[in-house]
A and B are shown apart, each in its own frame.
Chain A
Amino acid sequence: MADAAASATADTAVELAGVNKWYGKFHVLRDINLTVGRGEKIVICGPSGSGKSTMIRCVNRLEEHQSGRIVVNGIELTSDLKRIDEIRRDVGMVFQSFNLFPHLTILENCVLAPVWVRNMPRKEAEELAMKYLTRVRIPEQAGKYPGQLSGGQQQRVAIARALCMNPKIMLFDEPTSALDPEMVKEVLDTMVSLAAEGMTMLCVTHEMGFARQVADRVVFMDAGEIVEANAPAEFFANPRHERTRAFLGQILH
């Protein structure tokens, strides 16, 4: 086991081995095994309630797993708060509901964590924030408050805010599900360009076009377990499991 962990650290970003989780008596995650290589892009899909959000939320410990091993950037997640903070510093997360801080301006949202967690001088943090806000193409909104922006803009700010911490891994939890249809593309474009730069990404999404274009692997989950994982071309052309075929039949018209 120790050997496996040691050899895995070099080019493994995230490793989940035999992970189980229960909500009360309800078994939400069943024997999850998934290894994500550095720079790999994983798209996780599945019906609602299949545990896909819960799984990626375990990666930065927003949810606690009850058995099995989760190793992120070579650090194993335990209840040790120091390790959790260490992992969270290097793992960015983008939520379905954006979760921007409404009492702070866009710029302050982006500067907050670098200044307080990384102890970066304010001026440097602001330059960094402006760099990423420019990258998501909304530098002109820096002085506004989140409530004044459209959903798509808010989500791009959320991406920029996560990037300001220079994360090694990015988690996306249904980033486009709460958006109006005409705003989905601007967020996906941002994610595509991020993928092109070699970021390790775990994305829970139903955007199958995005999966085809970007994913190295598509993981299909159902009822708390990983049912099938494959390269997107193969996954969409020849789904092997019956449940995968049923699911794809539902969402691809």
Chain B
Amino acid sequence: MDSGASRLETAYLRETPAPTLPPPALSSGALGWTRKNLFSGPISSVFTLLTIAFAAWTLPGLVRYFILDAVWRADDGAACRAPGAGACWAYIGQKFPFFMYGSYPREWVWRVDVTFVVGAALIVWLLAPKLRGKQVAAFLFFVAFPVLGFVLLSGWEAVGLPKVGTDLWGGVLVSLVVSAVGIVVSLPGGVLLAMGRRSRLPMVRMASVVFIEVVRGVPLITVLFMANFMLPLFVPDNWSPDRLVRPLIGVSLFASAYMAEVVRGGLQAMPKGQFEGAMALGLGYGRMMRLVVLPQALTKVIPGIVNTFIGLFKDTTLVAIVGIYDFLRTVDTARLDPLWAGPSISTTGYVFAAMFYFIFCFGMSRYSQYMERELSKDRQR
């Protein structure tokens, strides 16, 4: 080493081990971060400045309209109709019970609240990875909760809860019932259809393909119309399903068909070796799918599954077309109240609806990203 680095060496022997060093410090402080990320070159600088300009142009108006000039308290729409008035939050406050429960009898809305709270608690229990006893939670949510919810919401005279017909249900209640049923049915439904589509039995395969392609090939509105008007034709009169159950069936079938294709994508992506490894151990088809293939395949397609859930959640607004008062329809109806009619009032109502849908969809999206990280944490090489 001492004899000059310029000499070409053919033999080399390391005499001292190379030291282990910490990685170099990339940037220092906020200024360094700003320069590196926001002004790293002319194009980046232009985009940064354009973004700032856009924010400066739009934000003040939005803040003024929705916060500074907004009407927070009022007994009717007069204050909101005054010139220069911003968003009419007073109207949201006034109509809030209607948005939440539709025409559900006011003295019984506690039944809806209890259902919401129990459902939310069970969902948190089910979804938070740190909470234990998932099997108990799953049993309570998928078996006990639907029974409880049905008894509470629709009533059971024997326990002193008068019947409340679904024609009185509405608002957030209906939107959540339709989405929850759609989501809970579509995942297992989609898994079964996807497995059916890959089955070796020609009849099973054909039935799955026909179902998926037909349901996926028509608009949801058509499915809802068919569920609404055709289902009653297939069953005896007194068996005719409830007017809320019909769109529930329609939405569930529709979502299952979409879910089936998402799940099939995951199954397709499974290496053949996983199937062979499971088969060679003597696991039959059912156990192979349940214990080895599906846990991996479903994890792979979490983004697609959540995408379908989000689409389904927003598509529930279409049940309005068969006369169901979902959340968006209640908002749309409430703004026609002559006491509250006014341009800023309609806008406020729709912004409120948008916020509601956004919060739920964004929540689902964030949770799925969190779950993806959680599931891949241990398995990274």
Query: Which residues in A have some Cβ–Cβ distance to B below 8 Å?
Result: 60, 62, 81, 85, 88-89, 91-93, 95, 97-103, 112-113, 116-117, 145, 147-148, 161-162, 165
Contacts and interface: CB of A to CB of B under 8 A. Distances in A.
Contacts of A147: 379-381
A152 to B, nearest CB: 15
A103 B292 CA distance: 8
B379 A88 contact: no
Interface in B268-304: 271, 273-274, 276-284, 287, 291-292, 295-296, 299
Contacts of B2: none
Given A112-B283, A162-B281, 19 more contacts: A62-B279, A85-B282, A88-B281, A91-B280, A97-B271, A99-B273, A101-B278, A101-B292, A103-B296, A103-B299, A112-B281, A112-B291, A113-B282, A116-B283, A117-B281, A145-B378, A147-B379, A165-B281, A165-B282
A116 B287 contact: yes
Nearest to B375: A103
A208 to B, nearest CB: 26
A245 to B, nearest CB: 34
Given A88-B282, A117-B283, A165-B282, A99 B277 contact: yes
B379 A102 contact: yes
Contacts of A60: 279-280
Nearest to B287: A116
B218 to A, nearest CB: 37
Nearest to A164: B281
A113 B288 CA distance: 10
Contacts of A117: 281-283, 287
Which residue of A60, A91, A113, A117 has the most chain B CB atoms within 10 A of its CB atom? Answer: A113
Contacts of A116: 283, 287, 291
A102 B273 contact: no
B381 A148 contact: yes
B282 A95 contact: no
Given A103-B379, A117-B282, A147-B381, A95 B299 contact: no
Given A99-B273, A99-B274, A145 B379 contact: yes
Contact of A93 (B280, B284, B379): B280
B277 A100 contact: yes
A88 B287 CA distance: 14
A99 B276 contact: yes
Contacts, number: 66
A113 B281 contact: yes
A4 to B, nearest CB: 28
Nearest to A90: B282
B337 to A, nearest CB: 54
A44 B274 CA distance: 24
A102 B292 CA distance: 9
Contacts of A81: 284
Contacts of A112: 281, 283, 291-292
B129 to A, nearest CB: 15
A161 B280 CA distance: 11
Nearest to B273: A99
Contacts of B299: 103
Contacts of B273: 95, 97-99
Q: What 9 A-B pairs are tightest by C-beta distance, nearest first?
A: A99-B277, A113-B281, A93-B280, A99-B273, A88-B282, A89-B282, A147-B381, A117-B282, A145-B379
Contacts of A165: 281-282
A98 B271 CA distance: 12
A92 B379 contact: no
A125 to B, nearest CB: 13
Nearest to B299: A103
Nearest to B277: A99
Contacts of B279: 60, 62, 88
A62 B295 CA distance: 22
26 contacts: A60-B279, A62-B276, A81-B284, A85-B282, A88-B279, A88-B280, A88-B281, A89-B282, A91-B280, A95-B273, A95-B280, A97-B273, A99-B273, A99-B274, A99-B277, A99-B280, A101-B274, A101-B277, A103-B296, A112-B292, A113-B281, A113-B283, A145-B378, A145-B379, A147-B379, A162-B280
A101 B296 CA distance: 9
A165 B281 CA distance: 8
Contacts of B281: 88, 112-113, 117, 161-162, 165
A121 B62 CA distance: 64
B260 to A, nearest CB: 22
Interface in B349-381: 378-381
B266 to A, nearest CB: 13
